[in-house]
Structure 1
Amino acid sequence: MAEKPQDGWPESGPERDRLSPPGHEGGRVRARLRRWVSLLSFSFMALTVALGLLVFSLVPHLQKQIDNPQLLEQRAAMVLDADGKELATRGGRYADIVPLEEMPPYLIQAFLAAEDQRFYSHSGFDIRGILRAAWRNLQAGAFVEGGSTITQQLAKNLYLSSERTVARKFQEALITLWLESHYTKDEILSVYLNRIYLGAGTYGVEAASRFYFNKSVSQVTLAEAALLAGLPKAPSRFAPTNNLKRAQARADYVLQLLVETGALTNGEVFAARAEPAEIVVREERLGTHYFVDWVLEEARALIPPADGTIIIRTTLDGAMQRKAEAAMEKALADQGPAVNIEQGALLTLARDGAVKAMVGGRSYLDSQFNRAAQAKRQPGSAFKPVIYLTALKNGFGPSSIMIDEPVDIHGWQPENSAGRYWGPVTLLTAFKHSLNTVAVRLTEQVGRGKVIGTARQLGIKSPIAALPSLALGASEVTLVELTGAYLPFAADGKGTEPWGITEISTPSGIVLYERKEEPRQIISPRRARDMTHMLHQVIAEGTGTRASLGRRMAAGKTGTSQNNRDAWFIGYTHQYVTGIWFGNDDNSPSAGASGGGIAASTWSAYMNDIHRGLPRIALPGVRREPVVARQGKEQEYFRQLSALFRSVPPVSAGRTTRFRQGGETIRVR
């Protein structure tokens, strides 16, 4: 028989239960209850302490948030073309604050019906709305409805980030209570309606109304008001610019809510439901975004960083820009495949350096890389005007004589593209036929450092290596730089860096920047006209004949880099300077693309197009007396050459003499 404990009570089992003294079971229940109460008390105290610590940690940050609401919009920029038409808006679209009393009553009713039907009766939180949303989400098995009130939405939009954390939700609750205790309902609603995001980059009903309907919010119809009120739920999804039918269906639902809430009758919404709101059709001008990116960088350098919207008025000519885009696309589509070229860029400047058109690539959607302003490529012979200008500054003239013959510089032996040598030639002849050996000899004679100095004087800022190949355009430049370098030739010696901004202001009209800089004299008018004379001959009878504009006088230069990787033509008329480049982004060779081919023909087609209706004005320097050779070694050489010819005895009758000409033997009698 098992031993019993010394106290006489069994350890467990029926016997123990049977022998339990009266009242002992109730003591056990009370003990268990005391333990639960202690546990709950401890948990409540711990939660209270945790909430207290959370509040304590959040209050300083919360006070900063409350003291600095985002009532002033962050930096946004609206970019306008030369005619004042919008090119693009970066950042948000904002407008001036519109008081509630200036908004149509049905607009306010529509927003309340769609977003917060008990706005004027709750104190920041709508318990019924929260429970209703929870029930519908549970039924749907997904999140289909939110329970946030307008005050809660305002708290999130003005003070908080978009992160989803417990601390953020707690902050939202505290700010909601603060807003309700410090502002009237009308004040809260006014700020909400003027700053709520409504899709397509628009903030506030005024900005959205002007963007979607091209009118002030005070003038919107009931159908338009319902469309706006349907946007806060999912601005991107319901934005009419993304899907007009979906936006109209959402607006119809808002009109239905107006009837259900008793705000309006079926008769009052009938017309709005029968004729849904339409939006303004805006021209998609993605091609201009290369220019927009470029001028925004320029704007950052012109004014200090600040909050608020700025309006940037630019020099871009909308009609010219469309023609530029069309010309480049046509060239790439018609000629690109045959020469294995996939990309191109174009820049047109007025004589004062204002950018009138900029094409940075074939498709902005496919690539935002701006090949006009960012791509650095070898200009080839399009760089030769820099060399010849340097020669003019150092005693040479268009009629100066140089010898076109093989040249060797420490083993480097450049050749002419045609593979032949011309012997004694004038600088004009060497230039218009783009003779490489003469360019190299000129560079070596005047000095590479001086050539680089001239490039800097003309506005080229890219690194230039002082190598022999400098003469053939081996150092990479941008199209903006090189086109700008031709400006002094076109403008009688005056030049400036290409620019695109005329004015930067605030929406209220405060001018932050206004361009007042005028082009300055870069080179003398005489040298500019000498260069124009030679550049005109390139088109008249040199490598650029395909760039001819017929009876309109023009001047320009072809450029082709090694292995035909780059094809350039930079040229000008009395009105405009235009540079064109073709090539491939991976720098792969083309199948024979050249400056005198695809680039020159595209330049001609485009320039003829943009000059229609403009007067034909002669270029200074083209039609003038022949330029006399400068004093110096070149003149002495020419004198000696003439004397040599005079010393040759006359040919007697019947005598046959053979002369070598162009590699052939001819008979002279």
Structure 2
Amino acid sequence: MGGAFALGLLGLIALLIAVFTTRSSLPSYGDLKRSPNGQMIRVHAVDGTVLVSLGPSYGEWIESDKIPQVMKDAIIAVEDRRFESHFGVDPKGLARALRFAISNRGTDRRLQGASTITQQVARTIFLSNKYDVGRKVREAVLALAMERKFSKDQILELYLNKVYFGGGAYGIDAASRRFFGHPATQLTLSEAAIIAGLVKAPSHYSPTADADAAVDRAAVVLQVMQETGKLTPAQAAAADPKSVKMAPEPKQNSIRYFTDWALPQLEVLIDESEAPLEVWTTLDLNMQRAADDAIRANAPGAAQGALVSLDRDGAVRAMVGGKDYVASIYNRATQAVRQPGSAFKLFVYLAALEAGHRPEDLVVDEPVTIAGWSPRNSSGRFNGEMSLRSAFAYSINTVAAKLGQEVGYSTVADMARRFGVTTPINTQPAMVLGTSNVRLIDMTRAFASVSQRGVAVTPYGITRVTANGQVIYQHEVDTSRVLVGSHVAAQMIDLLQTAVNTGTGKAAQIGRPVAGKTGTTSSNKDGWFLGFSSGLTTGVWMGRDDAKPVGGLQGGTAPARAFSAYMRKAVAGRPVEAFDTNVTLPEWQGDNESEYFSGPDNSVFVDPDGNPIDPGASAQDPAAGGRGDELDKDWYDRVTGRDDPSQPSRDPRDSRDPRDQRDPRDQQMPPPAQRDVPRPPVTQPQPQRQDDRYRDPRDQPYGEPARRPGY
């Protein structure tokens, strides 16, 4: 008997030494409050809907006096009803655990608990979740030491801010935001009961995994609270966990293309790395659904599709990076670089218009060879004299080649960079047909800047960021950078309207004014359509990831149809907006005969390096870059009146002969036979500007070049 007493006394002394030694080595309370690396980020659509919640999250640290009393009462009742009276270890619970360990020694059954709140805090901060007697002993020693160093309020505060509640949420604030969409300081009794019930089995009782199980568990918590005197019978009966409104589960498909693009920008926008963030974005869920539907419905079976839609200030309203985010997270709207084909002619014609050309200027579609390269049209024919408007509407390659030679290929490349193209641009002659790889978001940005009368548009996805209720970032739109004169942009819009009304982009019509341009690359590997209407600019790309040909894919087919399907829904609630320049039909437009000329845009008849494809390739063979339909020259001459010298080619709405038109300076224009058409080419390409500013026709700087917006 005396030996047992002595042994017990020695054990008690050893325990006291261990406790006080441990107490002296414990970190300060301030150190224990520091959370591990992790930050809760909730991303909202433009209407406030939560798009995605990122974690794991530790939420905002809630001080003890700010924690709702119902939350404290609920967790104490269900996890440690003697918390306020024991000294860190509950003797009854410890005895129960020891009996269980002895009776189940040698089996795989886990130790059954009765760990106090203090023990759980010790395990959460200092120990692992390994189940054995040795860990329970260390846990008990730590709990006893913590009770000697910290108050009950401090220990409960640590517990409620650090314990795991499931769904990636550590602490009651993260759990409250994750499951209910508001801070823990606003928890109701029913919500507190749901959260308190999660500790026992977070994955099983999680509201996101099994809402019914979470509600049933909350009912048990309320009953225990009544049994322990934390609630009156009336209060327990009034609580209704079934009526608690859960935060909706974020979507996980195409919106993730947008959030994956937008969220990395937080690194340069803010410097907050600990407090939970609420990120408010530009994404419109209705537009996003319409964009998703348009791509899935129109992209050819083996092909991928991408779409970007920008509001007039650059706000990204929809972004689709592929048919299915779950199947492929590769964002073809912002990451993929592909040849744009004839869509690149936007920059060729902008450079020509800035140099002094006008849509009515007459040029000649004829064979041309530039530095050994002989561009050809998809029809395999040459149409003779026509206006720039007609050449753009029907995407005539030879005219684009002549314009590029005249203004200089470096000037065209400079124009593309000015409008936001961030990828390398070659300056070989074939570049005018879109042989340099570009990104869809960059091309969409360029068209948006044209729609804004030449004022630079920068895509953005984040409008503001808040932390702990305070705004720490607010986006400001910059409208100060002018890329081209408004008269140049107006003339470009004139040309873009014509391309949709009568040219290669007719499938993109939506029943209101639209301006845009198609693009198709050799062998039908890529199809593009980019355009704008009612303040919204949208770009569509389709093709295979492995760059193999897609039968029948052209900018004026599936991409234009997807644009139309999306835009009809996207602008439905917006007022119809007429452009400053009314659409002017090209001289070939007239009656139904014009249907012939609304075929596909001219493909790029060069290889990926800009070298010409075999000139003997048949125009009937799409794999060789052909369109697959030949022009009947006799029919063409007949419908255009070129077989009758008394019928000059002109706009049927204009009764004046083109030879009698006057230029803006009221000087008589010479007849076409006396004019240089095209204008004399520059024998050497213009050198690249040494400075990084852009200049208008009067050689005045427009300001800084377009910069990458952070994507």
Q: Separation in 2 of the partners of 1:90 and 1:275?
A: 26
Distance 1:536 1:98, change over 3 A: same
Distance 1:64 1:367, change over 3 A: farther
Matched, 1:225 2:192: yes
The one-letter code matched in structure 2 to 1:80 is H
Deviation at 1:193, TM superposition (A): 1.8
Partner of 2:498: 537
Distance 1:164 1:459, change over 3 A: farther
Whether the 8 Å CA contact 1:227–1:251 is kept in 2: the answer is yes
For residue 116 of structure 1, the aligned residue among 80, 91, 97 is 80
* Mapping of residues 410-559 of structure 1, within 5 Å: 411-550=372-511, 552-559=512-519
The one-letter code matched in structure 1 to 2:537 is V
Whether the 8 Å CA contact 2:371–2:429 is kept in 1: the answer is no
For residue 615 of structure 1, the aligned residue among 560, 571, 575 is 575
Matched, 1:583 2:543: yes
Whether the 8 Å CA contact 1:79–1:86 is kept in 2: the answer is yes
Deviation at 1:247, TM superposition (A): 2.5
Partner of 1:638: 672
The one-letter code matched in structure 1 to 2:462 is I
Deviations 1:90-125 (A, max 9, x none): 2327256264576244x4343224333443344334
Percent of aligned positions that are identical: 38
Q: Separation in 1 of the partners of 2:140 and 2:150?
A: 16
Partner of 1:285: 251
Partner of 1:82: 46
Q: Separation in 2 of the partners of 1:464 and 1:178?
A: 68
Partner of 1:97: 62
Deviation at 1:496, TM superposition (A): 2.6
Q: Separation in 2 of the partners of 1:438 and 1:162?
A: 74
Stretch moving more, 526-535 or 310-319: 310-319
Deviation at 1:462, TM superposition (A): 1.2
Deviation at 1:527, TM superposition (A): 0.5
Q: Separation in 1 of the partners of 2:337 and 2:24?
A: 53
Distance 1:642 1:360, change over 3 A: closer
Deviation at 1:219, TM superposition (A): 6.7
The one-letter code matched in structure 2 to 1:571 is G
Whether the 8 Å CA contact 1:224–1:277 is kept in 2: the answer is no
The one-letter code matched in structure 1 to 2:672 is F
Deviation at 1:545, TM superposition (A): 0.5
* Mapping of residues 154-173 of structure 1, within 5 Å: 154-155=121-122, 157=124
Deviation at 1:571, TM superposition (A): 0.3
Partner of 1:41: none
Whether the 8 Å CA contact 2:540–2:563 is kept in 1: the answer is yes
Q: Separation in 2 of the partners of 1:170 and 1:413?
A: 86
Deviations 1:125-182 (A, max 9, x none): 4465455446557757333745643234334545778899999999977765554233
Partner of 1:237: 204
Deviation at 1:608, TM superposition (A): 1.6
The one-letter code matched in structure 1 to 2:59 is Y
Q: How many residues align?
A: 579
Indicate the structure (1 or 2) with the bigger Cα radius of gyration.
1
Q: Separation in 1 of the partners of 2:404 and 2:140?
A: 75
Distance 1:292 1:146, change over 3 A: farther
Q: Separation in 2 of the partners of 1:144 and 1:427?
A: 84
Deviation at 1:419, TM superposition (A): 2.8
* Mapping of residues 359-398 of structure 1, within 5 Å: 359-398=320-359
Whether the 8 Å CA contact 2:507–2:560 is kept in 1: the answer is yes
The one-letter code matched in structure 1 to 2:62 is I
Distance 1:281 1:300, change over 3 A: closer
For residue 594 of structure 1, the aligned residue among 544, 554, 563 is 554
Whether the 8 Å CA contact 1:397–1:628 is kept in 2: the answer is no
Q: Separation in 2 of the partners of 1:628 and 1:499?
A: 44
* Length-normalised TM-score, structure 2: 0.71
What RMSD in Å do the two structures reach over aligned CA positions?
4.0
Deviations 1:74-103 (A, max 9, x none): 433222232333322323272562645762
Whether the 8 Å CA contact 1:125–1:149 is kept in 2: the answer is yes
Deviation at 1:446, TM superposition (A): 2.1
Deviation at 1:328, TM superposition (A): 2.6
Whether the 8 Å CA contact 1:310–1:506 is kept in 2: the answer is yes
Deviations 1:4-29 (A, max 9, x none): xxxxxxxxxxxxxxxxxxxxxxxxxx
Whether the 8 Å CA contact 2:335–2:439 is kept in 1: the answer is yes
Whether the 8 Å CA contact 2:64–2:153 is kept in 1: the answer is no
Deviations 1:592-649 (A, max 9, x none): 1221011111211221212224222211223589996799xxx778242799xxxxxx
Whether the 8 Å CA contact 1:240–1:279 is kept in 2: the answer is no
Extract unaligned runs of 5+ from structure 2. 1-10, 585-653, 678-711
Decide which structure has greater helix share. 1
Whether the 8 Å CA contact 1:199–1:231 is kept in 2: the answer is yes
For residue 208 of structure 1, the aligned residue among 175, 194, 203 is 175
Deviation at 1:556, TM superposition (A): 0.2
Extract unaligned runs of 5+ from structure 1. 1-43, 644-669
Whether the 8 Å CA contact 2:359–2:491 is kept in 1: the answer is yes
Whether the 8 Å CA contact 2:58–2:162 is kept in 1: the answer is no
Q: Separation in 1 of the partners of 2:66 and 2:675?
A: 93
Whether the 8 Å CA contact 1:210–1:217 is kept in 2: the answer is yes
Deviation at 1:509, TM superposition (A): 1.5
Partner of 2:294: 327
For residue 568 of structure 1, the aligned residue among 517, 521, 528 is 528
The one-letter code matched in structure 2 to 1:149 is T
Distance 1:618 1:362, change over 3 A: same
Q: Separation in 2 of the partners of 1:170 and 1:282?
A: 42
Whether the 8 Å CA contact 2:531–2:538 is kept in 1: the answer is yes
Deviations 1:295-336 (A, max 9, x none): 21222122235321233222222332232223333334xxx3
Q: Separation in 2 of the partners of 1:374 and 1:161?
A: 42
Secondary structure in 2 aligned to 1:520?
Answer: coil
Secondary structure in 1 aligned to 2:359?
Answer: coil
* Mapping of residues 167-206 of structure 1, within 5 Å: 176=143, 179-206=146-173
Deviations 1:183-239 (A, max 9, x none): 211221123224433223434334434543456657756554332112123323321
Deviations 1:253-275 (A, max 9, x none): 54565577676688975776x97
